[in-house]
Chain A
Amino acid sequence: MTVIAEGYNTFNTNKKPSGTVKYLASPQDVIKLIQGGKLKEHILLVRGGTTTFLAPALSMGAIGVITMSGAPESHLGILTREFQIPCVMTVNLNDSKSKYVPGETPDSHFQEIIQTLEGKKVTLDCSDHDKGRISA
């Protein structure tokens, strides 16, 4: 297993969930995932850091979350801690020069992350106080 991406860790935990990365682009994607009954097979990848977008997935037992923006002090950060769902926020790919900068990040940054991670079997390591790591 190699660490392929890193981001902020929302809370320190020894849980190390594994699953196939599923990118959720719209609320309809979230509803479809819930209704498909395979929520627990996936690590969820989302663009934003706010919590309402993922509400039903959090409530119904998501096993792990990766976001492309946001931080542990956000609502999603707080909620994943309360639900004890490991979560890595504002993830950056280790072999890419593109890094997230608020308000200045081109769409290509997000597309690169989506293309690299979606469908990949990954494991989240959130045991560190600050950094969350994604291995594949």
Chain B
Amino acid sequence: MAVTAKAGSEKSEWKKRYEPNDTGLRFQDLKYTGNFTDLEPVPDGILGDRMMKARMRSKVIEKVTKQDVLKGEFTVDELNDLNDYLAWNIWDVLVMRATEGVSGMIPRQEYEMLSFMQEFYRYPEFMRRITDEVGAQGVMDIGASARREIGTKVNCVHDWCLGAVAFAMGRCGLLALEVIKPDDYVEESNTILKFMQRVLWGKRQDGWILNSQDRYRCTIHEKDFLESLVTHCENFEPGSEKHDKFVAFNAAAELLAFFDHYDCRLGLGDTGPYQMPDGRILIVRDLFVNEDIYHWSDVCEGLPHCFTMLVLVDPELMGLKEIRVNDISTSFTIPKNYIEAITGGAVLVREQHDTPMGEVYAVGINDIAKHLEKIQQATFNMYKKTAKMSRHELCLNGIYSYYIEMILPHMRKAGMYDYFNKEHDFWEIDQRVANYYYEINKRNFAQATVPLKVFSGAGYLPFSKKADLRQSKYFWS
């Protein structure tokens, strides 16, 4: 049973966010310009999405049909619309990250930049071959597999990264470094974005591809599947021993999930918010605490691939005004603190990435202590191990955590991971990118120049009117 609101707490109004004319709340004061220097700046959130949609030249950011998605390629206008919308969407979810600075541990700005470029150069080859093997429908089916699974990395952050990182940020970085021109790699850009569109459309099945297009909802699980999950939930009072155990476990597992993925959000995957019959909200959160494809994950031995947290939040208890499950799989609310309004939940375990759903099992909240201990130990061991690594090694591992990881789930679902390893040197770093390692530290390029271009939207140059859809790289002196 849901806990009722405390006397004096503000009334929730979160459902208003889904009314057609509602423009949402602002989560930040900053505004976006991007390629629209002669137009009014755009804010974040529902209003920002609406303004961006109004500026599109094609219908590609509107709801699209299956037939649209099965088409072989985008027009140049559609490519530019996707470029512009993704640039705003990246700003919307990441702009505050631009203030992040150095971590003192992992050279994240450096490895991120190198990863983006590596992905732009190499993903088209993999995406084309996957599509050759399973067909356009097969790519959509990879996305659709997430509808009846938890603990799967075919999720909003991974799928979003295929386009937003590999295409948008990768191309942006290469343009900033002046190693490509705006009309280079049109064909490859098309391949990347079409693959992204198919996976995301297949996952959502409602015509949208991004959560931001749907008022930040990612309610992808089918009704009967979700109902079967919820039977595992236990209810508790905020501040009770069970609440504290649940919250502490969630936090510790989330920390290790970030760490195992080199301080990247790929370790976390939220879907929701699902409206429960009793008025509460459910967030389904995958925490990938052991990705054993990475050599540094040896410290996570004994832990499963994924803990899935079912988190039940009472919106009345916190006076919820808006909830966003954004395109990088993270939930944000106004008010910000939803932890104190968690009144129920469950912990489910998926031992391996390919464990059948029928073998996923629940752990009672009173029995999670032994897992928590393992998580804390693994976190400390990971820390000691990471602290001993050289900068170059940290950068290389960081590149793996982005470049390998973002497309890994899709390769696995296509049954082609081993093939790409054997036949296409999947784990090799492109020589151009290897050389950029020595370039990106000059003139504060990785630490300041590119992050500002990526986060401000200033670097996402459009394809010109002369661009040819068949155009790949040409001579560059």
B-binding residues in A (CB < 8 A): 9-13, 24-28, 30-31, 34, 46-53, 55-56, 58-60, 68-75, 78-79, 81-84, 89-90, 100, 102-104, 129
CB pair B103–A53 under 8 Å, yes or no, is yes
Q: A60 CA to B384 CA in the complex, in Å?
A: 15
Count of A-B contacts with CB under 8 A? 142
CB pair A27–B448 under 8 Å, yes or no, is no
Q: Which residue of the partner chain, among B108, B335, B448, contacts A103 with CB atoms under 8 Å?
A: B448
Verify if B379 is at the interface (C-beta below 8 Å from A): yes
Q: Which residues of B contact A55 (CB under 8 A)?
A: 255, 259, 379, 382-383
A72 touching B382 in the complex, CB below 8 Å, given contacts A78-B330, A102-B98: no
Q: Which residues of B contact A9 (CB under 8 A)?
A: 336
Among the interface residues B98, B105, B259, B449, which one has the most CB atoms of the partner chain A within 10 A? B105
Verify if B50 is at the interface (C-beta below 8 Å from A): no
Q: Which residues of B contact A24 (CB under 8 A)?
A: 104
Q: Which residue of the partner chain, among A34, A82, A89, A100, contacts B251 with CB atoms under 8 Å?
A: A82
Q: Can you list 27 residue pairs at the A/B interface with Cβ under 8 Å?
A: A11-B337, A12-B337, A25-B104, A26-B104, A27-B104, A47-B101, A48-B104, A51-B255, A51-B259, A52-B103, A52-B263, A55-B382, A56-B379, A69-B99, A70-B99, A70-B100, A71-B97, A72-B336, A73-B94, A75-B265, A81-B336, A83-B248, A102-B98, A102-B99, A102-B448, A102-B451, A129-B334
Q: Which residues of A contact B83 (CB under 8 A)?
A: none
CB distance from A119 to the nearest CB of B (A): 20
CB distance from B43 to the nearest CB of A (A): 15
CB pair B383–A56 under 8 Å, yes or no, is yes
> Nearest CB to that of B387 among chain A residues?
A27
Q: A89 CA to B408 CA in the complex, in Å?
A: 34
Verify if B396 is at the interface (C-beta below 8 Å from A): no
Q: A73 CA to B329 CA in the complex, in Å?
A: 12
Q: Which residues of B contact A84 (CB under 8 A)?
A: 247, 251, 337, 339
> Nearest CB to that of B264 among chain A residues?
A75
A-binding residues in B (CB < 8 A): 93-94, 96-106, 108, 247-248, 250-252, 254-255, 258-259, 262-263, 265, 330, 332, 334-337, 339, 376, 379-380, 382-384, 386-387, 444, 447-449, 451-452
Q: Which residues of A contact B449 (CB under 8 A)?
A: 103
CB pair A52–B259 under 8 Å, yes or no, is yes
CB pair B254–A82 under 8 Å, yes or no, is yes
Main secondary structure of the interface of A (DSSP, over half): loop
Q: A68 CA to B101 CA in the complex, in Å?
A: 8
> Nearest CB to that of B330 among chain A residues?
A78
Q: Which residues of B contact A13 (CB under 8 A)?
A: 337
7 cross-chain pairs, A with B, having the tightest CB-CB distances, nearest first: A103-B448, A69-B101, A50-B103, A71-B96, A27-B387, A82-B251, A48-B103
Among the interface residues B252, B334, B449, which one has the most CB atoms of the partner chain A within 10 A? B252
Q: A46 CA to B105 CA in the complex, in Å?
A: 11
Q: Which residues of A contact B93 (CB under 8 A)?
A: 73
CB pair A82–B247 under 8 Å, yes or no, is yes
CB distance from A93 to the nearest CB of B (A): 17
CB pair A31–B99 under 8 Å, yes or no, is no
CB pair A103–B106 under 8 Å, yes or no, is no
Q: A56 CA to B384 CA in the complex, in Å?
A: 10
> Nearest CB to that of B339 among chain A residues?
A84
Please name 4 further chain A to chain B contacts, defined as beta carbons within 8 Å, in addition to the given A59-B379, A82-B254, A129-B335, sorted by A numbering: A46-B104, A48-B104, A52-B262, A69-B99
Q: Which residue of the partner chain, among B258, B334, B387, contacts A75 with CB atoms under 8 Å?
A: B258
CB pair B447–A81 under 8 Å, yes or no, is no
A52 touching B106 in the complex, CB below 8 Å, given contacts A102-B451, A129-B334: yes
CB pair A79–B103 under 8 Å, yes or no, is no
CB distance from A115 to the nearest CB of B (A): 18
> Nearest CB to that of A103 among chain B residues?
B448
CB pair A103–B339 under 8 Å, yes or no, is no
Q: A110 CA to B93 CA in the complex, in Å?
A: 27
A81 touching B337 in the complex, CB below 8 Å, given contacts A70-B99, A73-B96: yes
CB pair A82–B250 under 8 Å, yes or no, is yes
CB pair A51–B263 under 8 Å, yes or no, is yes
CB pair B336–A71 under 8 Å, yes or no, is no
A53 touching B104 in the complex, CB below 8 Å, given contacts A27-B387, A31-B384: yes
> Nearest CB to that of A53 among chain B residues?
B105
